[in-house]
Amino acid sequence: MMPLRMSIHEINIGAIHEFPVQRKGMFHMRVSQLLNPTLREVPAEAEVISHQLMVRAGLIRKSASGLYTYLPLGLRVLRKIETIVREEMDAKGGQELLMPIMQPAELWKESGRWDVYGDELFRLKDRHNREFCLGPTHEEIITDLIRGEVRSYKQLPLLLYQIQNKYRDERRPRFGLMRGREFIMKDLYSFDRDEAGLAESYQKMYDAYCRIFARCGLAYRPVEADAGAIGGTGGTHEFMVLADSGENAVVYCPECSYAANVEKAECRPQVIEVASPEGQRKLVFTPNVRTIDELSGFLAVPKTSLVKSLLYQGDEKLFLVLIRGDRELNEIKLNNALGGFVSLELASPEDVKKILGCEPGSVGPVEVPNELMVVADEEVPLMKKAVCGANKANHHFVDAVPSIEFRIDQVLDLRMMEQGEACLKCGAPLKEARGIEVGQVFKLGTKYSKALGATFLDPDGEEKACVMGCYGVGVSRSIAAAIEQNHDDYGIIWPMPIAPYQCIIVPVSTKDSLVVETADKLYLEFQRLGVEVVLDDRDERAGVKFKDADLVGYPLRVTIGSKTLANGQVELRERKTGETHLVTVEEVAGQVKTIIEKEISF
């Protein structure tokens, strides 16, 4: 008799053979049957290339601002990215669940976000007048779930995720899928016993994200990022697909691994020596001078010798911000440093007049009212002498000594990093690039578990709050990002792993029966080999078919024409390189299969 262990092993193997792991969906389609309305014209409202191409290639159609229908080919791309995401989440021990899109206001009130999330939250009421929102993210719902289900440290860690629609009433929905009001996100939440556990979960997700974007065939970079409104105290990285049209500016070091969103990039203060440090502070008449450029021109001094003084309003509070004249203020750093206001903006000219008695262009930090808080960028007190506003119309001070004559309450890193500055890690000059944020990993800590009471008992019987992380992938945005990075004048160039179909067969003529027969035969053979293939069986001119194939961006095209077929050959063309080869009818399917396998293996 066989040992018991052996037979269990065999049963398992048998089960795997009997039930395929996953249903893979449609592998093939005739273009004549496909809902793939391509357009020659560039749609008027589409500003960026990915949006233009998605509409022109018949992948999406707009229903209303920021709301789209995915047509069959667009949906195939979406599903492929979802599959990659799902595989990588599962590989790290993630468990998939599905939470409601509609969320009760009570939970958001418990976390404190109902009032601070602002206009981006879609709010609604039911027939009993109870308040709800459409989930822009799911920290509240999942924390509520965990507080009900987790009692003991033995149930942790947990990695829970879903792939689902999210809703944000964006100020400017635009660029097609890039910034929608309804979009698809994978969101995973980690629950750990302590910081060390969180660090492990975070690293798992960081690694998984690297694999996801690499598997999608995208050039990406993880960058240190700002924690923003979602809260939490730990670290965070954004995953950026590098593309000139990206909304984010990132700095990166070509020598070491350092990379950061400019919003976050820490700056090293620079000291600039001045020519005549001796003079006393003097009031000078500066008629009609309002801007830094005008002041620099009028007094013939470099902008590095000027101090910009800006009156800001954070929620109800007013404060004065000082920064060197040649620098740009980083409002995100400012807001974080001061504790996170819901709204932060320049004070109105009326408020400036009321508080400082002058126009915004004449504001300065000498003798400001005691109750007004003054915060300065690190470089300001290092200036030996400075020119600044005098809080008097048409007047400025020259030769003021910031470290003595300015009343500064707080010195902070408040400026925007500039290209070419030295890397804080290795000193090499930093470079700047544009990026599209396709994902973010985030250490939340106990912000939500404490607010909602998601606690567990440790081995020693102590009750502790779960230590949380959250991790998002913009699944639908990734489609747009892939196109921004992979296109040419003729259309999309899909990376093989996310192409709607891997190959298109184009019979040049539908009149030549040998051409048609060969096309049908290859279409079947490709299917048999598991190649995802479409057959352009439309009665159209070859030029039209080629144009559509290039526009949609199938990675491989097999062209069947009477001339080459007379020699038993067809043409195999790669969309990415434009290279063509003549291949025999017998060998083409094998070659196509080989190319595909090479490009989707990881």
Q: In whole angstroms, give the CA distance from residue 227 to residue 106.
A: 25
Residue 466 DSSP code? P
Cβ closest to ligand ATP, residue 179 vs residue 385: 179
Interface positions, 334-393, toward Mg ion (CB under 5 A): none
Cβ closest to ligand ATP, residue 110 vs residue 170: 170
Distances (CA, A) of 318 to 14, 155, 248, 338, 389: 72, 48, 29, 12, 18
Q: In whole angstroms, give the CA distance from residue 504 to residue 38.
A: 15
Interface positions, 411-440, toward Mg ion (CB under 5 A): 440
**Residue 220 Cβ vs ligand ATP, minimum distance, rounded to whole Å:** 11
The phi and psi torsions of 320 (rounded to 5 degrees) equal -105, 135
Q: In whole angstroms, give the CA distance from residue 539 to residue 590.
A: 28
Residue 234 DSSP code? S
Interface map 439-458 toward Mg ion (x if CB under 5 A): -x------------------
Q: Which residues of 3-23 are buried (b: 16+ CB within 10 A; e: fewer)?
A: eeeeeeeeeeeeeeeeeeeee
Binding site for ligand ATP (CB under 6 A): 137, 168, 170, 179-180, 183, 185, 437-440, 472, 474, 476-477
**Residue 53 Cβ vs ligand ATP, minimum distance, rounded to whole Å:** 17
Cβ closest to Mg ion, residue 66 vs residue 472: 472
Q: How many CA atoms lie within 13 A of 358 on its CB side?
A: 22
Q: In whole angstroms, give the CA distance from residue 352 to residue 361.
A: 10
Cβ closest to ligand ATP, residue 174 vs residue 395: 174
**Residue 134 Cβ vs ligand ATP, minimum distance, rounded to whole Å:** 13
Q: What is the DSSP string of 39-72?
A: -SSPPTT--SHHHHHHHHTTSEEEEETTEEEEPH
Count the site residues for Mg ion by CB under 5 A.
1
Q: Which does 170 bind (CB under 5 to 8 A by kind): ligand ATP, Mg ion, none?
A: ligand ATP
Cβ closest to ligand ATP, residue 116 vs residue 284: 116
Q: Which does 551 bind (CB under 5 to 8 A by kind): ligand ATP, Mg ion, none?
A: none
Cβ closest to Mg ion, residue 263 vs residue 379: 263
The phi and psi torsions of 364 (rounded to 5 degrees) equal -150, 170
Residue type (1 letter), 331: E
Q: Which residue is nearest to ligand ATP (CB)?
A: 474
**Residue 335 Cβ vs ligand ATP, minimum distance, rounded to whole Å:** 14
Regarding 137 and contact with Mg ion (CB under 5 A), the answer is no
**Residue 448 Cβ vs ligand ATP, minimum distance, rounded to whole Å:** 14
**Residue 532 Cβ vs ligand ATP, minimum distance, rounded to whole Å:** 26
Q: Which does 476 bind (CB under 5 to 8 A by kind): ligand ATP, Mg ion, none?
A: ligand ATP
Cβ closest to ligand ATP, residue 94 vs residue 472: 472
- Region at 147 (left for phi over 0; alpha for psi -120 to 50; beta for the rest): alpha
**Residue 563 Cβ vs ligand ATP, minimum distance, rounded to whole Å:** 47
Q: Which residues of 38-71 are buried (b: 16+ CB within 10 A; e: fewer)?
A: beeeeeeebebbbbbbbbbbbbbebeeebebebb
**Residue ranges in contact with Mg ion by CB under 5 A:** 440
